[in-house]
Amino acid sequence: MGAAYFYHLTRRPLEQTLPVLLEKARGAGWRIAVRGTDAGRLDWLDERLWLHPEEGFLPHGRAGGPHDAAQPILLTDRAEAANDPACVMTIDGAEISPEEIAALERVCILFDGNDPEAVQRARGQWKSLTDAGCAAQYWSEESGRWEKKAESAG
């Protein structure tokens, strides 16, 4: 049974934080689906992931191509991911269900701490997922480094 890790982004934007988390997940040997809500935003993120040589090469692709099943990291706006991920990272308020969390190794929910609507949406996700029995952790970078601020055993 997996767990949901909430990442409250306040110091570094998504395009800087996501590559670090993707590299850690790849280091664990996991295939990853990055789930967003907007195709244009995922295209933008796809371009940004190619522009971060300091993070190393992150092999990835956009969903809808002929090699989706072979992608170690697949950017998608759908719940189904052809690459059979062990980890799903959600951005921009993309939904994730308790059943998905239970079936995955890890779910990472990244949200912009400078956007009040994103913070409210993440709070709602935390409550609904923990109420459904999912294990969850809340991580904040407010101090300048990532610190676990809350945990629910589920």
Domains of the chain in start order, with CATH, are 3-152 (3.40.50.10110)
Which of residues 48 and 151 earns the better pLDDT score? 151
**What is the reported pLDDT for 53?**
59
Which of residues 59 and 123 earns the better pLDDT score? 123
pLDDT digits (tens, 9 = 90+) for 65-86: 899 999 999 999 999 999 999 9
Q: What is the mean pLDDT of the chain?
A: 93
- The mean pLDDT of 4-8, rounded to a whole number, is 98
* DSSP code per residue over 22-86: HHHHHHTT--EEEE-S-HHHHHHHHHHHHT-GGG-----EETTSTTGGG-SEEEESSS--TT--S
